[in-house]
Structure 1
Amino acid sequence: MVLVNIKQMTDQREIYGVFGIKEISDTLYLMLIEECTLMGQVNNSNIFRIEKLLYIPISRSQSNQISRQARPFIQMIDKIVAEKAFYFSYDMDLTKSIQQNVKSFIKNTKQSDLEKLKSLYPNVIEYQHKYAFNDHLFNEIPSNDYAPFIVPCIYGFVYIKPVQLESTKLILTLISRKDCRRPGRRFISRGIDENGNVSNYVETEHLITYYDQQKLRVASFVQTRGSIPLIWSQKPTMKYSPAVKVNQNIDDSLKYARIHVNEQKDSFGDQVFVNLIDKKGTQLRIGQQFTRLIDNLGDQQVDYTWFDFHHECRNMKYENLAKLLNIIQDKVDNFGYFQAVLNFGFDKRDKIDQNSVTIMNTQRGAVRTNCMDCLDRTNVFQSVLSRQVLHKQIWKQESAATNVLNIQPFEKFYPSLEDSFREAWTNNADALSILYSGTPALKTDFTRTGKRTLKGALNDGKNSVKRYYINNFCLIFLRIFMKSYFPIEDRNFKQMIFHGIVYLFSFFADDVYKFKQAMVKDLLMSLQDNFDIKSDQMMLLHWCEYEEKIDSQKKIEK
């Protein structure tokens, strides 16, 4: 955490943009990007990842008091930044797909001052608010005047890797951008809200770019994931798999789902909804309600497939995903993918117009995949679909005579591209899983190696235990930040954290004895490190010990 008073600043510092301005304890703080890492280039545009922020109070300054009161909130922001999930670019609008970027460049006429500003800073003036994590931090900034300094950041994952394919050097890119309108982590945030926003909604785009005769060739494919668009919840109860509660009145969910589906169609065109949850247990009930929802929508632009991933791929038979691909193949082929030839890269976007761009294909639909968390099963299937489309894109670019209609679902690429492709999707799985559940993804041994292994299954078990702990105790920072909670005093903020933890323990007292003392101590140490709660820690520890004594007494009486 770097916290300074603007009146006391005497040194010069290099900054990379304005992350935003926020009021904390009656003081406005200017948040600047102080450190970042260059991830690579996409269409000649540099893509950066934020590493550290600088915080400067810019109003009502008594710096020592401000620092004390603001410290817990700023520590919370730093923890989110430490997840290494914020990305930005000066030349390319990361909140938009390549297809949307190119179309935006072409339509800018520069006839007015605003249009000229849009041309110079399109990623600031016309970005998609739903994918800009720090959008709510720009409210105090007159954006048109400060356009050169504002940096909208996506929250998600970016992978960029140059790959040599015989005589051609291409760049493989994978970008995942999370929708920030329904924040919250696993179990805390599920389903749909009254505005049609769903939890853990992510748009993922793979791209390949390369130069051919001094022209930039680009191809991309977009797919999405998101929580089942019903009113449902799955609150943490210290059970490994908490009970699912689904609103049984389909009409309540229908009006919100219609908003969500219409936005999907407006953004991408026709839709294929792929549902990967189980057809048994608690997942069966929500799956049946989802099926009824689609039936009641009666939308001819929406196809729906329920594929029980765990049943169909049991005994590690992931090759059975070929069945699912066969079901949706015709639709995916009709959707197509984006393909264009550009005379200029995005670093010269002011020169990009209808005369300097040849759009050969556009993507006219998208596959929307879900499981319960939209993490592990979803990422496996998305990687398989991406592989199949990428094969077609490469063969199309090379004008190969190979019959692309007979592509096998798991057919390998050239070795160099194969390694990069697997790395991209495995890292994407881990990154998105950490943002939603707090742990790396499950089932990534298949994404990384192409087969399910015993070692991978054991590693999944370890990560499942971690998720259990984190989802019951540790997922609060992001929710508070996005919901704009501001502590008036440091003590109040600590009490809120403490009472939240005590509530969890007290409400589920019958299960407390099942937790080892080490786990409780880990929790207390975490609180101590972050919020300096010493007396409260002792209260919580004594409470836990008291519950264990009561439980022991019950056993003796029995």
Structure 2
Amino acid sequence: MVLPFRDINVQVSPDCYIFKSPSTPNAPALTVDRPTGEIRLSDAALLAGKRVTRVFSIKGILGVIQLRLDKYILVITKDEQIGRLKGHMVHRIVQVEFLPVHERQLSDPDEDRFLGLLRSFLKSGPMYYSYTLDLTNSFQRQAAQQDAARAAGHAESPLWMRADDRFFWNRFVQSDLIEYRNRGARGQLGVQAGIDPYILPVMFGMLEIHPTTFRGRSLTIALITRRSRFRAGTRFFSRGIDEDGHVANYNETEQIVVLNDSGQSSLGGYSGTGDIQMGKGGSSGDTQILSYVQTRGSVPVFWGEINNLKYTPRLEVRGDAGGIEAAFPAASAHFTEQVRIYGDNYLVNLVNQKGRERRVKEAYERMVKFLAGGGTGSNSSGSSSSNKDLNEKSAAAGAAAAASRRGGSISGAAERQRYTQSQLDRVHYIYFDFHSETKGARLDRAKLLLDQMHDALIAQQYFSAADLPGHGGGAARLEPRTLQMSVVRTNCMDCLDRTNVVQSMLARWTLERMFADLGIMARGGTLVDQDPAFELLFRNLWADNADRVAQSYAGTGAMKTDMTRTGRRTQIGALRDGQVAVTRYCLNNFFDGPRQDAFDLFLGAYSPPEAGGAHLVFADRRPVLIRAVPYVLAFAVFFVLVGLFTRRLPDAAVLPMRIFLLFWLVVAAYSARFVLRSGELYVNWPKLIPRPASVEDYHAAMAKARKDKLLGSFVARHERGLSTARYMSAEEGKKRIE
């Protein structure tokens, strides 16, 4: 098995960058030519005579990215050790340095802005990696890969090749190295396997590892949330599903328990009965892995929320028959992939059935019926939300999943259609009105969902395996004992707050089942009764997960974390939620545009124009008068406050001050009214890939501004005076959208 280099030295030369591992002197050195940026492998000994201006060590190569004027090598210069999982050290990226291929002499505002976006993104983005453990795949998928490699008689692939493409977060910026690996370069044609140790896969999300004890038994509990790189972005600029079947805010969360973890400490065996403890003939001292996987993702229809400076943005849902039919291929692709990877999917929908969220709920249910009817819109029992149908199907879910994993080739359009429909028949819809059921701080009523899903959760199982030493000095291998046969896919509107409460509840139920199966707690017992200290650790672990996932999507921590941390609704928690709501409002309206641009740039959704082409990508093309209104509002409020709170001389006339205050009050009121009526003009939209719905709303707001009785004529006159160059830039942006 080829693993990434743990130590890499960088030699900076006027004509190239040289990367080589001092602990592996016989390995070829990776060189990046300057100024062409061409990648090649070279004999390290032949490079010893080069003139070097700087030498430093790095943790790994994050990737290579081409911006407007230059290409940059992103190298990890500082990391933080998170802990050991199954003996493998896990690291979090702390600092990334940009190595320019050229020595840029000219200053370019767009290039500087691109670099600023990337630096801000890499500084705040929680990214994790390991040199020896695949963080992008669940332990169950890792075991399946090992079994497949052994069955084929092949050695395990390099770490980056085994990575799950959905969670290989730096896949785009690694594309230059991967392209060279697969095809080579001038004078080095063909597969270049020597570059494999330089390719380091990175995961984005949340990862915590805690060595602890439960009732005196040593164990390690870990929680990993992997965020998909597809349709990634911020809260209001990334909603619903795209044409390729990728949904917004898609995360896979894996809860892991490691017993007898020799990588953490010398843990003894423990007494207990059952196949899991003894490994079906193994030793109770074997390292054992137990894991449980859940997913979350946006409602898989075409919908979105358009910012307009109002607290509740305008909701746009294509939930009619035409919209559902248009989204059917994407939703079908999404759930076909989900069933292929996880087995049966239980779709837990927590969206409100009243108010503005009702349209999203109804659109989701229409889509589920459409999927069940094979795209005809007719319903079938395959996706019924009734408890009776759910319980009847859950008993057979495990066998169906196993049959699907054994697989077989699918040939012919009719066969593929039948295969797709058989996959969609394994999608089960469950509705639970979380807000209605738990109102009045009745969090205990959320357990009604567990009762509703009881049989499905029993049939679902969880993954457990023994970590056995490799034969002949080979790598350790996972020997599965039980497999998780299905997955619960939870969503609310944002897939954040309500979703995390329900996911933590399902994780607790499964963890108690694991411990009961292991014989280290009584069946029917609870964590809080058996070990209050461990219960507290569990609560905080899931609350931290809620905050990390929400931070990357909404820009703040999660709401309702008091429910997760304490098990009840508190006044302090409610006040904190109010603060979070106000912060989200400000971030989503005024700061999320650049954050979305950073996602699009790093993940390759946007490619900067080449030097010599169009420029000033980030220029504000609104008329000056439109941009000036908020400043006028601020000045008016300032003068009103000055007039109200400035001490007046005893003999000063009152009338002039009243006229002064009245004038600025009128100016402030008019400015505020204009800003609120034309809110779309003051939202900080993404500039690299404008969202079509937001573009339409922007133009509608601009048309409304032109009709304003006071400012409309000035706005229209200013627009007529815009230069031809600015119109050309706008047309280029329109073409990019199309």
Aligned with residue 368 of structure 2, among 294, 299, 306: 294
Aligned with residue 78 of structure 2, among 24, 31, 35: 35
Write the distance in 2 (CA, Å) between the matches of 1:221 and 1:515. Answer: 57
Distance change (3 Å), C-alpha of 1:23 and 1:549: same
1:102: which partner in 2? 143
1:527: which partner in 2? none
Alignment of 1:220-259 (within 5 A): 220-247=291-318, 248=320, 249=322, 250-259=324-333
2:637–2:668 Cα contact (<8 Å) kept: no
Matched, 1:170 2:219: yes
RMSD: 3.4
Distance change (3 Å), C-alpha of 1:372 and 1:111: closer
1:148: which partner in 2? 197
Q: After superposition, give the CA deviation of every residue in 1:345-365 in whole Å (9 maximum; x if it has no partner).
A: 9xx994335xxx431100010
1:6–1:56 Cα contact (<8 Å) kept: no
1:163–1:416 Cα contact (<8 Å) kept: no
Using CA pairs below 8 Å that are at least 6 residues apart, which structure has the higher relative contact order?
1
Write the distance in 1 (CA, Å) between the matches of 2:196 and 2:162. Answer: 11
Q: CA deviation at 1:41?
A: 1.2
Q: CA deviation at 1:72?
A: 2.5
For 1:135, what is the secondary structure of its paired residue? coil
Distance change (3 Å), C-alpha of 1:253 and 1:491: closer
Distance change (3 Å), C-alpha of 1:472 and 1:411: same
Further displaced range: 28-37 or 291-300:
291-300
1:238–1:508 Cα contact (<8 Å) kept: no
1:210: which partner in 2? 259
Matched, 1:315 2:440: yes
Q: After superposition, give the CA deviation of every residue in 1:171-221 in whole Å (9 maximum; x if it has no partner).
A: 110000011111221010100011110000000000000214542111000
2:606: which partner in 1? 484
2:568: which partner in 1? 451
Name the amino acid aligned to 2:59: Y
Give ranges in structure 2 of 5+ residues lacking alignment: 1-9, 16-51, 182-192, 261-268, 270-283, 373-423, 639-664, 675-708, 710-738
Write the distance in 1 (CA, Å) between the matches of 2:673 and 2:329. Answer: 52
Matched, 1:285 2:359: yes
Q: After superposition, give the CA deviation of every residue in 1:316-353 in whole Å (9 maximum; x if it has no partner).
A: 111111111111121111111000111239xx994335
Write the distance in 1 (CA, Å) between the matches of 2:138 and 2:458. Answer: 19
Aligned with residue 335 of structure 2, among 252, 257, 261: 261
Write the distance in 2 (CA, Å) between the matches of 1:485 and 1:97. Answer: 32
Aligned residues: 510
TM-score (norm 2): 0.64
2:467–2:479 Cα contact (<8 Å) kept: yes
Q: CA deviation at 1:513?
A: 6.0
Write the distance in 2 (CA, Å) between the matches of 1:207 and 1:281. Answer: 38
2:702: which partner in 1? none
Name the amino acid aligned to 1:23: Q
For 1:373, what is the secondary structure of its paired residue? coil
Q: CA deviation at 1:167?
A: 3.6
Distance change (3 Å), C-alpha of 1:272 and 1:4: same
Distance change (3 Å), C-alpha of 1:204 and 1:552: closer
Give ranges in structure 1 of 5+ residues lacking alignment: 519-544
Distance change (3 Å), C-alpha of 1:517 and 1:485: farther
Instruction: Give 1 or 2 for the bigger CA radius of gyration.
Output: 2
Aligned with residue 479 of structure 2, among 348, 355, 358: 358
Alignment of 1:429-448 (within 5 A): 429-448=546-565
1:83: which partner in 2? 124
Q: CA deviation at 1:369?
A: 0.3
Further displaced range: 262-271 or 289-298:
289-298
Write the distance in 1 (CA, Å) between the matches of 2:669 and 2:613. Answer: 31
Distance change (3 Å), C-alpha of 1:108 and 1:379: same
Write the distance in 1 (CA, Å) between the matches of 2:248 and 2:69. Answer: 31
Matched, 1:46 2:89: yes
1:21: which partner in 2? 64
1:27–1:66 Cα contact (<8 Å) kept: no
Distance change (3 Å), C-alpha of 1:146 and 1:467: same
Distance change (3 Å), C-alpha of 1:181 and 1:6: farther
Write the distance in 2 (CA, Å) between the matches of 1:331 and 1:427. Answer: 28
Write the distance in 2 (CA, Å) between the matches of 1:553 and 1:291. Answer: 39
Alignment of 1:510-525 (within 5 A): none
2:166–2:229 Cα contact (<8 Å) kept: yes
2:69–2:611 Cα contact (<8 Å) kept: no
Write the distance in 2 (CA, Å) between the matches of 1:443 and 1:229. Answer: 24
2:45: which partner in 1? none
For 2:620, what is the secondary structure of its paired residue? helix
Name the amino acid aligned to 1:333: I
For 1:374, what is the secondary structure of its paired residue? coil
1:106–1:352 Cα contact (<8 Å) kept: no
Write the distance in 2 (CA, Å) between the matches of 1:503 and 1:332. Answer: 58
For 1:176, what is the secondary structure of its paired residue? strand
TM-score (norm 1): 0.83
2:381: which partner in 1? none
Distance change (3 Å), C-alpha of 1:506 and 1:320: farther
Write the distance in 1 (CA, Å) between the matches of 2:566 and 2:134. Answer: 33
Q: CA deviation at 1:56?
A: 1.1
2:73–2:100 Cα contact (<8 Å) kept: yes
Q: CA deviation at 1:422?
A: 1.3
Q: CA deviation at 1:492?
A: 8.2
1:18–1:150 Cα contact (<8 Å) kept: yes
Aligned with residue 324 of structure 1, among 440, 449, 457: 449
2:528–2:535 Cα contact (<8 Å) kept: no
Q: CA deviation at 1:10?
A: 3.4
1:523: which partner in 2? none
Identity over aligned pairs, percent: 29
Distance change (3 Å), C-alpha of 1:390 and 1:110: closer
Name the amino acid aligned to 1:156: G
Q: CA deviation at 1:79?
A: 1.4
1:92: which partner in 2? 133
Q: CA deviation at 1:81?
A: 2.0
Name the amino acid aligned to 2:569: R
